[in-house]
């Protein structure tokens, strides 16, 4: 059985080298004859150094969105993503067709979907559209988050800890396996980061050294020791968090470490299948059950509004037009000359009849709901629930 393509979603702060990293891994896969399928979700980028198979800019004009809705740069990006998310069914259809080509196709399915995201990381990760895109990907393919970090700008304990907290929040927001990619190692080696993540005492030593140098200031907030104590406590707290991450050092300029990155991607793909997918499936089933329950509650409320009380006894005498509640409506009573109209069961879905079997109930509920503008079929599961509730007498 062919392995499903893995979706690699690249996120990172502005200036972390995310787009250059995308170019490097894209080129690496082409050189190794494993052509990826690339998605660009950054509507504000002017030029990208790689060919995107699906580009948000093809369907969304970022500048026009800003102008039309009177938005700033971040609002324009967010609104563009929201508009693009309305096409998620089309996007997923394209990805699934590409991942499962017909037998007669000569084009091999890709092993990787590469997804580039906006530099305004919070706009993608914490927006509804970002959640929709990520959940849709994860529901069909193994999905891995690659968090790109600017190594030279993370060499101090405070900026390092800020990045780790950011990564922690992304991990628990997306609930997807994550790889920390320390980029720009051609400028500064990332060994210090690996040490700080795996050896608590090494981080303490670096923190103490910075305190002695007066990095946090001589007086007030930093000089009081509060900053050092805070960083020390957070480092201790994040030890468990580090154990769930893969860390790779990469240079997008030279290509160093790219092989290690794809090794980590494969490990995270297996981790997704083993640990994350069952949890995603469980959450999806819970959402479906909640949706079905909500639908049943809505239908019950509608039927009560229509005076179609599912708790009424099926033995209750019918009430036909022109007859009082305590009057028997015999078959021979045709004084009004409108037998066809008054006796048609579809005209009076609220009438109880002696032949009130399951099929009759189903027809009554169906007609009552259709009168309210709801499109339901005879085999709608909610109608079956209402019938069962009626037979139980409530």
DSSP 72-108: -HHHHHHHHHHHHHTTHHHHHHHHHHHHS--TT--SP
Q: Given this model, what pLDDT does residue 3 score?
A: 80
Once rounded to an integer, what is the mean pLDDT over residues 5-33? 93
- Please give the mean pLDDT across all residues of the chain: 80
Please state, in angstroms and rounded to a whole number, the distance separating the CA atoms of residues 176 and 271. Answer: 10
Q: Given this model, what pLDDT does residue 340 score?
A: 46
Please state, in angstroms and rounded to a whole number, the distance separating the CA atoms of residues 1 and 293. Answer: 37
Answer whether residue 20 shows pLDDT above 80: yes
At 58, the pLDDT band (50, 70, 90 cuts) reads very high
Cα 356 to Cα 116, 310, 375, distances in angstroms:
60, 13, 23
Q: Given this model, what pLDDT does residue 228 score?
A: 77
At 239, the pLDDT band (50, 70, 90 cuts) reads confident
Least confident of 102-106, 107-111, 196-200, 361-365: 361-365
Please state, in angstroms and rounded to a whole number, the distance separating the CA atoms of residues 352 and 128. Answer: 47
Residue with tokens 């290509």: 255
More confident residue, 366 or 108: 108
Q: Given this model, what pLDDT does residue 97 score?
A: 93
Q: Given this model, what pLDDT does residue 99 score?
A: 92
Cα maximum dimension of the chain:
105
At 328, the pLDDT band (50, 70, 90 cuts) reads very low
Tokens representing residue 301 in the block: 């409320």
Q: Given this model, what pLDDT does residue 355 score?
A: 43
Q: Given this model, what pLDDT does residue 53 score?
A: 95
CB atoms within 10 A of CB 153: 16
Dihedral sign for Cα atoms in the order 349, 353, 358, 359: negative
**% of the chain exceeding 70 in pLDDT:** 74
What is the pTM (predicted TM-score) of this model? 0.71
Cα 166 to Cα 126, 143, 162, 182, distances in angstroms:
12, 19, 6, 14
Answer whether residue 25 shows pLDDT above 70: yes
CB atoms within 10 A of CB 232: 19
Q: What angle do CA 221, 226, 227 make, to 5 degrees?
A: 80
More confident residue, 373 or 315: 373
Tokens representing residue 275 in the block: 């640990």
* Cβ atoms of residues 184 and 151 within 8 Å: yes
CB atoms within 10 A of CB 46: 7
Once rounded to an integer, what is the mean pLDDT over residues 200-214? 85
Once rounded to an integer, what is the mean pLDDT over residues 277-303? 72
| Phi, psi of 256, rounded to the nearest 5 degrees | -65, 135
Domain ranges of the chain: 6-214+229-286, 358-393
What would the pLDDT profile of 87-109 be if each residue is shown by its tens digit?
999 999 999 999 998 888 888 89
Q: Given this model, what pLDDT does residue 223 score?
A: 47
Distance of CA 387 to the CA centre of its chain: 35
Answer whether residue 116 shows pLDDT above 90: yes
Answer whether residue 9 shows pLDDT above 50: yes
Q: Given this model, what pLDDT does residue 304 score?
A: 67
Please state, in angstroms and rounded to a whole number, the distance separating the CA atoms of residues 48 and 60. Answer: 16
Q: Please, which residues have CB within 8 angstroms of residue 350's CB and are 6 or more apart in sequence?
A: 306, 307, 308, 319, 364, 368
Answer whether residue 280 shows pLDDT above 70: yes
Answer whether residue 172 shows pLDDT above 70: yes
């Amino acid at each position: 059985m062919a392995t499903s393509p893995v979706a690699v979603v690249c996120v990172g702060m502005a200036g972390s080298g995310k787009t250059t990293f995308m170019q490097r891994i894209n080129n690496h896969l082409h050189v190794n004859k494993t052509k990826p399928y690339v998605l660009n979700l950054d509507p504000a980028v002017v030029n990208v150094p790689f060919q995107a198979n699906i580009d948000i800019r093809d369907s969304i004009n970022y500048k026009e969105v800003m102008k039309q809705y009177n938005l700033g740069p971040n609002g324009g990006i967010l609104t563009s993503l929201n508009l693009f998310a309305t096409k998620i069914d089309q996007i997923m259809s394209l990805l699934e067709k590409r991942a499962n080509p017909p037998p007669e196709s000569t084009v091999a399915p890709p092993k990787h979907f590469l997804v580039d995201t906006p530099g305004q990381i919070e706009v993608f990760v914490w927006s509804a559209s970002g959640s929709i895109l990520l959940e849709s990907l994860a529901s069909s393919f193994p999905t891995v988050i690659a968090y790109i970090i600017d190594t030279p700008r993370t060499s101090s304990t405070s900026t390092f800890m800020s990045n780790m907290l950011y990564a922690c929040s992304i991990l628990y927001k997306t609930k997807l396996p994550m790889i920390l990619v320390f980029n720009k190692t051609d400028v500064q080696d990332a060994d210090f980061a690996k040490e700080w993540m795996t050896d608590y005492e090494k981080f303490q030593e670096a923190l103490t050294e910075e305190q002695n140098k007066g990095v946090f200031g001589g007086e007030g907030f930093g000089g009081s020791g509060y900053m050092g104590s805070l960083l020390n406590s957070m480092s201790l707290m994040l030890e468990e968090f580090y154990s769930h991450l893969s860390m790779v050092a990469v240079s997008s300029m030279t290509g160093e470490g790219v092989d290690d990155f794809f090794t980590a991607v494969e490990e995270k793909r297996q981790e997704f299948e083993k640990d994350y997918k069952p949890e995603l499936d469980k959450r999806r089933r819970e959402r479906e059950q909640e949706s079905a329950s909500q639908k049943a509650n809505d239908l019950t409320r509608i039927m009560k509004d229509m005076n179609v009380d599912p708790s009424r006894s099926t033995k209750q005498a019918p009430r036909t037009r022109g007859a009082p509640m305590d009057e028997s409506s015999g078959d021979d009573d045709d004084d009004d000359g409108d037998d066809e109209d008054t006796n048609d069961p579809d005209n009076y879905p609220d009438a109880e009849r002696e032949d009130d079997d399951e099929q009759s109930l189903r027809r009554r509920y169906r007609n009552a709901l259709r009168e309210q503008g709801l499109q339901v079929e005879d085999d709608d599961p909610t109608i079956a629930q209402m019938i069962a509730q009626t037979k139980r007498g409530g």
